[in-house]
């Protein structure tokens, strides 16, 4: 960390998205493929600008090769095609020559010369009537954007070696950026866009990387390489921290490390309330990379495997054989615990399904989740067959996202039956008793839970979506973030209604939305009667400890009172009273 105290301390306020403290220099990533700043250069600077361009291309090539090998690790197969094509694109001699020429003849800075050449190229491609070539413009734009971003990296890279730890600041990060970031060097990240329940934030929590989102205007203002503190607990980015601020945060960081190590000591212990009610604490995962974290966390299974992350980096869904390998790996790693594999939930703020339909005006209300699967029976069938085949290697359940009514459940179950018949005929082993569950995340499903419960083996409440659809607040829009209230009385009633319907039909209910990870709410959720909490791998230990500290009878009384309460804050406060009383030291 550089010199502190010379510059005035500046505090930016954002939304805390992943807890933790990072103390390191900033590394600012410029915004996407929009026109960069243009400025004239002297003739004597031509060589230097040309070198900057070459370096940006070199950094990009290195990143693409690294991404390629990560993807291979992820899928266990050689998926290198797309990145090889990307590397060829940026190393294309014609493009390189044209950019070098433009820098020399127009005397413009390297990033603008590159941008102008790529824009001409993209416009020419967009005019070609061939739809295949037109689609490739998306790839070109993607690579060009990466090169542009690396111009800002290059100037810093001279100071910031590849091994230096830093806080990443960006306008926005796609879930794929977050999944592929170098977690050894990125100690935390801050973005102007995003919200607590975006998939980027969920991944940050999964990896235990402190994050702050919704820092409006910060990216344009902040200085690259400035010493900084990122406070993922309260959502602050502090630039040029004063010595006493630095001291305070160092102490806080040490204190948190002590709490963490005491939790670590209890990892894997039974998660039962003091009056004997057992609650399963399982983990949510997005990518197979998270398995070691989950194993270390002591989670008793995977309560939600978000398979749409297989589409990371714009890839097509892996074929049945590849999926069998991936799912079997997870099932084997977690055995004898249950792994709940959720079928594709692409769309919304997530990864799009290829090839895309026309852009949707309301993606969250559109072609998403099980709607896509049911509309693509061939793809759906491959996924169900793969999940069934993986069930021969461990304890596996299938779960369907975005269910809005009974007919969707019937159609999903029909696909499961059909795939079971096929596998039986083919002599391929699977678990004939594979549990079938559904997400309760559309208010219609919660309201009709009594109709759905007799059809399935379990419910898992997706509170992230249930809240956004109940209170009509886009879960990733920072402008309405304050209206996104997990303890809104309507949400609590829907959870209660779902659990009651499940109990009446002898099935269990879990929660796999982010509410499950929030230990301020553990008393309320236990009191409402949930039997499983599926949380980010980093939260398994604290949620487990919260459960062990509580009494179910006390929680049930709080839940009863909460159901009569009229205000979100009041309901939160009720739960907080128990949380503070029994595990205040764990609260942020």
Q: Residue length, the chain?
A: 588
Question: Within 13 Å and on the Cβ side, how many CA atoms surround 80?
Answer: 7
Task: Tell the smallest beta-carbon distance from residue 580 to ligand PEP (Å).
Answer: 26
Among 394, 462, 486, 544, binds ligand PEP (CB under 6 A): 462
The answer to whether residues 59 and 250 touch, using CB atoms and an 8 Å cutoff, is no
Among 282, 463, 470, 522, binds ligand PEP (CB under 6 A): 463
Catalytic residue among 412, 419, 512, 555: 512
Q: Cα separation of 10 and 20, whole Å?
A: 19
Binding-site string for Mg ion from residue 448 to residue 477, where x marks contact by CB under 5 A and - marks none: --------------x--x------------
Antiparallel, parallel or unpaired: β 15-18 and 211-213? antiparallel
The answer to whether residues 467 and 428 touch, using CB atoms and an 8 Å cutoff, is no
| CA distances for 353 relative to 175, 346, 379, angstroms | 15, 6, 11
Binding segment (CB under 6 A) for ligand PEP, from list 11-19, 186-194, 219-227, 462-470:
462-470
Catalytic residue among 199, 240, 337, 582: 199
Residue 389 structure tokens: 């085949």
326 binds ligand PEP (CB under 6 A): no
Among 75, 323, 373, 464, binds ligand PEP (CB under 6 A): 464
Binding segment (CB under 5 A) for Mg ion, from list 199-207, 440-448, 535-543, 557-565:
440-448
Q: Cα separation of 417 and 384, whole Å?
A: 10
If the CB atoms of residues 143 and 206 are measured against ligand PEP, the closer one turns out to be: 206
304 binds ligand PEP (CB under 6 A): yes
Contacting ligand PEP within 153-172 (CB under 6 A): none
The answer to whether residues 33 and 145 touch, using CB atoms and an 8 Å cutoff, is yes
| CA distances for 56 relative to 50, 96, 115, 146, angstroms | 10, 11, 13, 9
Contacting ligand PEP within 482-541 (CB under 6 A): 512-513
How many residues form the binding site for ligand PEP (CB under 6 A)?
Answer: 10
Q: Is 565 a catalytic residue?
A: no
441 binds Mg ion (CB under 5 A): yes
Q: Is 512 a catalytic residue?
A: yes
Task: Tell the smallest beta-carbon distance from residue 349 to ligand PEP (Å).
Answer: 8
Q: What is the DSSP string of 134-197?
A: HHHHHHHHHHHHHHHHHHHHHHHHTTS-TT--EEEEES---HHHHHHS-TTTEEEEEESS--TT
Which of the listed partners (ligand PEP, Mg ion, none) does 149 bind, with a CB threshold of 5 to 8 Å by partner kind? none
Q: Cα separation of 160 and 507, whole Å?
A: 54
Binding segment (CB under 6 A) for ligand PEP, from list 41-49, 153-161, 178-186, 460-468:
460-468
Q: What is the DSSP string of 214-253?
A: --TTHHHHPPTT-EEEEETTTTEEEES--HHHHHHHHHHH
Which of the listed partners (ligand PEP, Mg ion, none) does 31 bind, with a CB threshold of 5 to 8 Å by partner kind? none
Task: Tell the smallest beta-carbon distance from residue 199 to ligand PEP (Å).
Answer: 7
441 binds ligand PEP (CB under 6 A): yes
Going by C-alpha positions, the residue among 392, 383, 391, 390 that lies closest to residue 418 is: 383
Task: Tell the smallest beta-carbon distance from residue 345 to ligand PEP (Å).
Answer: 6
Residues with active-site annotation: 199, 512
Q: Which residues of the chain form contacts with Mg ion (CB under 5 A)?
A: 441, 462, 465
Q: Which residues of the chain form contacts with ligand PEP (CB under 6 A)?
A: 304, 306, 345, 441, 462-465, 512-513
């Amino acid at each position: 960390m550089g010199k502190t105290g010379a510059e005035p301390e500046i505090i930016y306020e954002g939304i805390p998205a992943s807890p933790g403290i990072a103390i390191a220099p900033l590394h600012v990533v410029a915004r996407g493929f929009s026109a960069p700043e243009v400025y004239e250069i002297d003739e004597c600077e031509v060589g230097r600008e040309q070198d900057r361009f070459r370096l940006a291309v070199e950094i990009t090539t290195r990143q693409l090769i690294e991404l390629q090998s990560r993807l291979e690790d992820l899928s266990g197969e050689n998926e290198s095609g797309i990145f090889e094509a990307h590397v060829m694109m940026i190393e294309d001699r014609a493009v390189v020559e044209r950019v070098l020429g433009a820098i020399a003849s127009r005397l413009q800075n390297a990033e603008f010369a590159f941008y102008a050449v790529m824009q001409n190229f993209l416009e020419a491609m967009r005019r070609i009537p061939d739809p295949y070539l037109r689609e490739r413009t998306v790839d070109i734009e993607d690579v060009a954007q990466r090169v542009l971003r690396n111009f800002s990296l290059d100037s810093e890279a001279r100071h910031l070696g590849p091994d230096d730890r830093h806080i990443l600041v960006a306008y926005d990060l796609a879930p794929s950026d977050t999944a592929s970031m170098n977690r050894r060097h990125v100690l935390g990240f801050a973005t102007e866009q995003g919200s607590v329940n975006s998939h980027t934030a969920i991944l940050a929590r999964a990896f235990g990387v402190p994050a702050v989102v919704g820092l409006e205007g910060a990216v344009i203002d902040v200085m690259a390489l400035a010493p900084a503190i990122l406070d993922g607990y309260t959502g602050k980015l502090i630039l040029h921290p004063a010595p006493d601020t630095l001291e305070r945060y160092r102490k806080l960081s040490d204190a948190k490390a002590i709490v963490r190590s005491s939790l670590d000591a209890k990892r894997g212990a039974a998660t039962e309330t003091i009056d004997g009610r057992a609650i399963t604490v399982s983990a949510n995962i997005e990518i197979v990379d998270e398995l070691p974290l989950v194993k270390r966390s002591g989670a008793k299974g995977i309560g939600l495997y978000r398979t749409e992350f297989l589409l990371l980096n714009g890839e097509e869904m892996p074929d049945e054989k590849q999926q069998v390998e991936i799912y079997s790996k997870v099932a084997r790693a977690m055995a004898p615990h249950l792994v709940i594999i959720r079928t594709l939930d692409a769309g919304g703020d997530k990864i799009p399904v290829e090839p895309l339909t026309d852009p949707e005006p309301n993606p969250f209300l559109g072609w998403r989740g099980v709607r896509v699967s049911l509309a693509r029976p061939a793809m759906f069938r491959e996924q169900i067959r793969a999940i069934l085949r993986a069930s021969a290697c461990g304890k596996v359940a299938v779960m369907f996202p975005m269910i809005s009514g009974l007919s969707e459940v019937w159609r999903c179950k029909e696909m499961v039956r059909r795939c079971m018949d096929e596998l039986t005929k083919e002599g391929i082993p699977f678990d004939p008793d594979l549990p079938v569950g559904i997400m309760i995340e559309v208010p219609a499903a919660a309201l009709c839970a009594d109709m759905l419960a007799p059809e399935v083996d379990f419910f898992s409440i997706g509170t992230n979506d249930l809240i956004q659809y109940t209170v009509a607040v886009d879960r990733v829009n920072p402008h309405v973030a304050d209206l996104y209230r997990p303890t809104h009385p309507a949400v609590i009633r829907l959870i209660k209604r779902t659990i009651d319907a499940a109990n009446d039909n002898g099935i269990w209910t879990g929660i796999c939305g982010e509410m499950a990870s929030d230990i301020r709410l553990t008393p309320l959720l236990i009191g409402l009667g949930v039997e499983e909490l599926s949380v980010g791998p980093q939260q398994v230990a604290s949620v487990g400890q919260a459960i062990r500290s509580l009494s179910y009878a006390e929680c049930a009384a709080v839940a009863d009172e909460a159901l009569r309460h009229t205000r979100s804050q009041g309901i939160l406060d009720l739960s907080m009273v128990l949380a503070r009383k029994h595990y205040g030291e764990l609260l942020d």
